[in-house]
Amino acid sequence: MKITLTVNGDDYPLDVEPRRILADVLREDCRLTGTHLGCEHGVCGACTVLVDGQAVRSCLMLAVQCDGRSVRTVEGLAGPDGEPHPLQRAFSAEHALQCGFCTPGFLMVAAGALEADPAIGDDPERVHGLVESNICRCTGYEPIRRAIMRAAAESASLRRR
């Protein structure tokens, strides 16, 4: 089936089997391997990407469902000049990653939420809720929560300026 995915602002005209999941098409057809597959049954969230701004498990979505839609992956987080996203800087500063395998999923969950509501940091419970949605085996989550709070606070202070 012929589809066009817009990934991180670039158009990818593709011919894909309808059964192929979005994660595989991103990784194999678009060669964007930053999106990782951790469980392939929608539990761990490592494969989370944004489709039209909404966080989705890309292992539970077919690529053909995304025809003509806008997909954002971890490769598209940094600014156009390569300047890291506040979340990327915050994750590093807070040691919110060790092996880094689950990290793209947490980043995209947080990026989607932060962009939908830049004031999310005002409600620590909501941030905690975001962290609860994915699995990490290295960090114990607390550094991830701190990193999202840190990035949220930074975004908030930028807005106030």
CB of 93 to another protein, least distance (A): 6
CB of 130 to another protein, least distance (A): 9
List the structure tokens of 7.
């990934």
- Judged by beta carbon, residue 46 or residue 64, the one nearer another protein is 46
- Judged by beta carbon, residue 68 or residue 145, the one nearer another protein is 145
Asked if residue 101 binds another protein (CB under 8 A), the reply is yes
Segment lying near another protein (by CB under 8 A), choices 64-72, 101-109, 116-124, 153-161: 101-109
Asked if residue 137 binds another protein (CB under 8 A), the reply is yes
* Cα–Cα distance, 147 to 110 (Å, whole number): 10
* Cα–Cα distance, 136 to 39 (Å, whole number): 12
* Cα–Cα distance, 31 to 28 (Å, whole number): 5
Segment lying near another protein (by CB under 8 A), choices 62-70, 117-125, 126-134, 152-160: 126-134
CA dist 158 → 41, 92, 126, 151, 152 (Å): 38, 20, 21, 11, 10
Strand partners, 6: 11, 70
CB of 98 to another protein, least distance (A): 4
Asked if residue 39 binds another protein (CB under 8 A), the reply is yes
Exposed e or buried b for every residue in 127-142, given b needs 16+ CB within 10 A?
beebbebbebeebebe
Are the beta carbons of 66 and 30 closer than 8 angstroms? no
Asked if residue 49 binds another protein (CB under 8 A), the reply is no
- Chain residues in the site for another protein (CB under 8 A): 17, 19-20, 24, 27-28, 31-41, 43-44, 46, 73-75, 77-78, 84, 88-89, 91-93, 95, 97-104, 107, 128, 131-132, 134-145
